[in-house]
């Protein structure tokens, strides 16, 4: 048997590769999961992550010391954060947040590690978080021009880099982060004070108890508020878990499913190949039975052969899986801002590989081995001539035979290809399953990609403007709009009222200090982040932050996709249209309900008149500008604009934004906010891009399995038809004819699988798109089916089929007639 494996090198390699691909996929995914989860959490724990984070409107070291003295608190630290903009060149800016720390050498919580340069940075210098450096298009030693919130410009030197695992990579958020001392900030006119407070709890039992941590955070909140400060938010993350853990779980679930699928398809390849080997071994089995071999002995013998295949596959799959796991983890780590170190072999993942690498092929081979070993001696020694595959017995075969009448232009060699395709129907079915699933998943992944971008488009469609610009004070809306409209490229400008609100849930006491709701601001650094999580709120207390947008009545810049109720009418006063994200967060609210919102510490009642689709959005409510500005005491005035340009080109938006900024500065305003639509979506598209890339890696693996499957099938077909090929050679078939017959058969299989894949792709795309949406955005994605994917798969499957059948065809054409006719 071992001699047989050695002599049939190509066949052995094919089986071993078939098994190895599936086992590699399982090993890579399981290994990545193990290495990533372990190292991410180890790295995260090494910075002593905060148990709770509170946003406070400015406090000093005395209050920090008071919190540190609280018996429930193990340690506490504070940070000051300042939002600036870093110049990237004429008219181009990157939001840049600067953090200042109370003690640079001894950071007890959320430790930041210096990676290069002086720490702390000297006066008028910044240390940049390492992922921000490329975004700033700067290098150490460069000077960075920062614009402060009041519009003043200050130059700082970039003197080093630091690593803060708590910060997402700058490309994710499309903003940079850096560190400067209070010395620098005080020179810029900012007093030494802090804006966020991080704590760890003292009770070792309570460190993993989110409820307990929340209660301590509430005590700290009380303490802070009793000193006269305002707590803007409290955030208690899931204890001990890196914030990305939540995102990684569905990613691994998805990759795991695809990994298992490739293993499953690998098993199909094993079934096909073992069945072919058993067919080739028929005579040998007959001889062994003649000299006394029993069924059980034969089964054991051939299972032993499969075991050897499995062991050989493991020799490839384990090192490849290990390299893949570390490579994949390093790739993912760049998106999670942590470093991967080699920590040896992930034993459980390798154990899983060994288990599936040995067990799955044995299970898959059991049926073909059983069937092969059952052959009678008479059947085994009586086979001769051509005709394996019992062609011509079924009605489908008869249909194919009659097809010559319908397709008289089809040449005999092509007819042979067509009929050969359907000779081994079981083998064809298994090959088809592999290729069809590979194709359907390929198209589904591209459909998810299309759906992700469709979702972004839908999100954009809700807001029909290109630029948001904010200034430092309230100005008459007409004056603002006029200034904007004088800028070349601007075709419309609207002043919108903006505010943050929190819903006062029905049974909440009027005093928000009695708040017992679960705070859930996802920002991990205490910076004034406007993004709010959409986790369902509990009845009672205050809601998470809700964004209020107040466009003028009849605004052309909002294009709501209504789900229920109606859009705002000009005569509406305290009417609100909320988005679906709001409804998800405030599950007890119904259309027509009256809710109480707390805006700038003032409560007001609002009636919900409509619900609009919220795509990639936070909980948001829309009100009429006139009523809203009256309520806020800012009638006819605004501090920002939405601007529509005459182009959809993001480059034009950037140019117009720069021109707008220039114009507003010339008019004496300080621009505090300036962003284009493309910039706002860049981070989201980047994140989607990563997800799609991950899925594409797995899809290519599936295509590889499919290609291997087809190559295996074609090789087996060629081996089985070696004698036929010899006969064709003997009656005048040239090399080209033989290659054509085999290659066309391979391509036919590919094309049929493509048709099937196209049919299966639609429901699969829908399912995958919905699940990805639910996992990553809490709502199904806006579905878009990738027709482009179908066309690309057609090209791939044709090329793969041609390549997969080329080698067997070439081998066949190289056989001499004597070898062929002496075969068996």
Partner 1 sequence: MFGRSKRAKIVTPTSNPGAYRFGNQRLIELRTVTKAYETAAGPFVALKHIDLEVDRGEFVAVVGKSGSGKSTLINMITGIDRPSSGEVLIGDTAVHTLSEGQMAVWRGRHVGVIFQFFQLLPTLTVLENVMLPMDFCNTYPARERPERAMALLEEVDMVDHADKLPSATSGGQQQRVAIARALANDPAMIVADEPTGNLDSRTAEAVFSLFGRLVDEGKTVLMVTHDDDLAHRVSRTVTIADGLIVSDTGHGSATMPQPVAEQMAV
Task: Give me the residues that bind partner 1 (CB under 8 A), please.
Answer: 384-387, 389, 391-392, 401, 404, 411-413, 415-416, 419-420, 423, 723-724, 727-737, 813-814, 816-818, 821
For residues 552 and 638, give the distance between their C-alpha atoms in angstroms, rounded to a whole number: 11
Please identify, using beta-carbon distances, which residue of 56 and 809 lies nearer to partner 1: 809
Contact 572/644 with Cβ under 8 angstroms? no
Q: How far is the CB of 738 from partner 1 (least distance, A)?
A: 8
798: left (phi over 0), alpha (psi -120 to 50) or beta: alpha
For residues 469 and 537, give the distance between their C-alpha atoms in angstroms, rounded to a whole number: 32
Please identify, using beta-carbon distances, which residue of 11 and 729 lies nearer to partner 1: 729
Name the residue with tokens 């899983």: 352
Please identify, using beta-carbon distances, which residue of 436 and 740 lies nearer to partner 1: 740
Please identify, using beta-carbon distances, which residue of 412 and 556 lies nearer to partner 1: 412
Q: How far is the CB of 378 from partner 1 (least distance, A)?
A: 18
Contact 432/620 with Cβ under 8 angstroms? no
Q: How far is the CB of 393 from partner 1 (least distance, A)?
A: 8
**Total residues found in the chain within this entry:** 824
Q: How far is the CB of 398 from partner 1 (least distance, A)?
A: 9
For residues 234 and 223, give the distance between their C-alpha atoms in angstroms, rounded to a whole number: 13
Q: What is the 3-state secondary structure (H, E, C) of 710-779?
A: HHHHHHHHHHHCHHHHHHHHHCCCCHHHHHHHHHHHHHHHHHHHHHHHHHHHHHHHHHHHHHHHHHHHCC
Backbone phi and psi for residue 523, each to the nearest 5 degrees, phi listed first: -60, 135
* Burial of 227 (C-beta count, 10 Å sphere; 0-12/13-18/19+): middle
Q: How far is the CB of 409 from partner 1 (least distance, A)?
A: 9
Please identify, using beta-carbon distances, which residue of 342 and 384 lies nearer to partner 1: 384
Q: How far is the CB of 15 from partner 1 (least distance, A)?
A: 27
Closest CA to 161 of 145, 138, 140: 140
Q: How far is the CB of 732 from partner 1 (least distance, A)?
A: 1
Please identify, using beta-carbon distances, which residue of 702 and 741 lies nearer to partner 1: 741
For residues 477 and 120, give the distance between their C-alpha atoms in angstroms, rounded to a whole number: 45
Q: What is the 3-state secondary structure (H, E, C) of 647-661?
A: CCCHHHHHHHHHHHH
List CB contacts of 606: < 8 A, sequence separation 6 or more: 574, 575, 576, 594, 595, 596, 597, 621, 623
Please identify, using beta-carbon distances, which residue of 156 and 725 lies nearer to partner 1: 725
Please identify, using beta-carbon distances, which residue of 273 and 813 lies nearer to partner 1: 813
DSSP, residue by residue, 558-616 = B---EEEE-PPPTT-SSEEEEEHHHHHHSTT--TT-EEEEEETTEEEEEEEEEEE--SS
Q: How far is the CB of 306 from partner 1 (least distance, A)?
A: 29
Please identify, using beta-carbon distances, which residue of 187 and 814 lies nearer to partner 1: 814
Q: How far is the CB of 401 from partner 1 (least distance, A)?
A: 6
Distance of CA 517 to the CA centre of its chain: 30
Please identify, using beta-carbon distances, which residue of 426 and 488 lies nearer to partner 1: 426
Instruction: Give the gyration radius of the chain's Cα atoms.
Output: 34
Please identify, using beta-carbon distances, which residue of 419 and 637 lies nearer to partner 1: 419
Q: How far is the CB of 291 from partner 1 (least distance, A)?
A: 22
Q: How far is the CB of 816 from partner 1 (least distance, A)?
A: 6
Strand partners, 475: 638
3-class DSSP assignment, residue 139: coil
């Amino acid at each position: 048997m071992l001699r047989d494996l050695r002599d049939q090198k190509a066949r052995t390699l094919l089986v071993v590769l078939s098994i190895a691909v599936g086992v590699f996929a399982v090993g890579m995914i399981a290994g990545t999961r193990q290495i990533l989860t372990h190292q991410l959490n180890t790295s995260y724990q090494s910075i002593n992550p905060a148990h709770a984070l509170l946003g406070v409107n400015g406090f000093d070291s005395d209050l920090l010391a008071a919190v540190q003295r609280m018996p429930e608190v193990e340690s506490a630290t504070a940070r000051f954060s300042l939002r600036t903009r870093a110049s990237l060149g004429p008219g181009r800016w990157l939001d840049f947040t600067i953090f200042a720390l109370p003690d640079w050498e001894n950071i007890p919580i959320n430790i930041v590690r210096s990676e290069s340069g002086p720490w702390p940075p000297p006066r008028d210098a910044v240390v940049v978080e390492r992922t921000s450096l490329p975004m700033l298009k700067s290098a150490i030693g460069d000077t960075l021009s920062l614009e402060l919130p009041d519009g003043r410009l200050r130059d700082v030197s970039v003197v080093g880099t630091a690593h803060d695992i708590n910060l997402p990579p700058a490309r994710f958020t499309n903003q940079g982060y850096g560190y400067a001392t209070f010395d620098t900030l005080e020179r810029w006119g900012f007093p030494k004070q802090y804006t966020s407070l991080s704590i760890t709890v003292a009770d070792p039992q309570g460190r993993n108890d989110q409820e307990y941590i929340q209660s301590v955070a509430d005590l700290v909140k009380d303490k802070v508020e009793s000193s006269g400060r305002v707590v803007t938010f409290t955030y208690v993350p899931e204890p001990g878990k890196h914030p990305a853990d939540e995102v990684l779980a569905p990613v691994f679930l998805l990759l795991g499913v695809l990994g298992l699928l490739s293993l499953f398809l690998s098993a199909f390849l094993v079934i096909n190949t073992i069945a072919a080997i058993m067919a080739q071994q028929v005579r040998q089995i007959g001889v062994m039975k003649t000299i006394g071999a029993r069924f059980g002995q034969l089964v054991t013998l051939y299972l032993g052969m499969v075991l050897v295949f499995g062991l050989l596959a493991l020799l490839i799959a384990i090192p490849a899986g290990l390299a893949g796991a570390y490579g994949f983890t390093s790739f993912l780590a760049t998106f999670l801002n942590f470093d991967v170190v080699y920590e040896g072999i992930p034993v459980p993942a390798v154990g899983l590989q060994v288990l599936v690498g040995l067990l799955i092929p044995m299970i898959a081979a059991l049926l073909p081995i059983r069937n092969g070993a059952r052959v009678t001696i008479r059947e085994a020694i009586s086979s001769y001539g051509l005709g394996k595959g019992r062609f011509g017995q079924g009605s489908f075969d008869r249909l194919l035979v009659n097809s010559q009448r319908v397709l008289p232009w089809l040449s005999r060699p092509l007819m042979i290809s067509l009929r050969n395709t359907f000779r081994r129907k079981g083998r064809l079915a298994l090959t088809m399953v592999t290729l069809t699933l590979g194709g359907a998943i390929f198209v589904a992944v591209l459909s998810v990609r299309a759906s992700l971008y469709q979702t972004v488009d839908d999100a954009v469609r809700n807001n029909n403007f290109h630029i948001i610009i904010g200034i430092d004070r309230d100005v008459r809306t007409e004056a603002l709009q006029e200034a904007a409209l004088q800028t070349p490229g601007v075709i419309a400008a609207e002043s919108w009222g903006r505010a943050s609100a929190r819903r006062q849930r029905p049974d909440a006491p009027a005093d928000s200090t009695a708040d017992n709701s679960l705070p859930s601001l996802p920002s991990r650094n205490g910076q004034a982040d406007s993004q709010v999580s959409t986790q369902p709120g509990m009845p009672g207390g205050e809601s998470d932050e809700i964004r209020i947008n107040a466009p003028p009545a009849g605004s052309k810049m909002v294009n709501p996709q209504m789900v229920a109720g109606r859009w705002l009418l000009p005569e509406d006063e305290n009417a609100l249209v909320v988005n679906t994200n709001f409804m998800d967060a405030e599950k007890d609210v119904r259309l027509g309900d009256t809710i109480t919102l707390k805006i700038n510490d003032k409560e007001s009642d609002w009636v919900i008149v409509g619900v609009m689709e919220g795509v990639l959005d936070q909980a948001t409510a829309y009100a009429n500008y006139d009523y809203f500005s009256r309520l806020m005491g800012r009638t006819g005035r605004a501090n920002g604009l939405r601007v529509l340009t005459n182009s959809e080109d993001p480059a034009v938006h950037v140019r117009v934004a720069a021109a707008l900024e220039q114009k507003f500065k010339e008019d004496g305003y300080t621009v505090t906010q300036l962003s284009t639509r493309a910039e706002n979506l860049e981070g989201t598209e980047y994140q989607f891009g990563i997800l799609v890339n991950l899925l594409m890696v797995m899809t290519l693996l599936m295509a590889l399995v499919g290609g291997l499957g087809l190559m295996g099938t074609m090789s087996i077909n060629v081996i089985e038809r070696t004698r036929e090929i010899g006969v064709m050679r003997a009656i005048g078939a040239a090399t080209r004819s033989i290659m054509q017959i085999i290659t066309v058969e391979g391509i036919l299989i590919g094309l049929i699988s493509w048709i099937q894949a196209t049919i299966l792709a639609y429901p699969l795309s829908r399912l995958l798109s919905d699940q990805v949406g639910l996992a990553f955005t809490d709502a199904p994605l806006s579905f878009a089916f990738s027709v482009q994917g179908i066309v690309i798969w057609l090209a791939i499957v044709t090329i793969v089929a041609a390549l997969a059948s080329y080698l067997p065809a070439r081998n066949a054409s190289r056989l001499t007639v004597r070898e062929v006719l002496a075969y068996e």
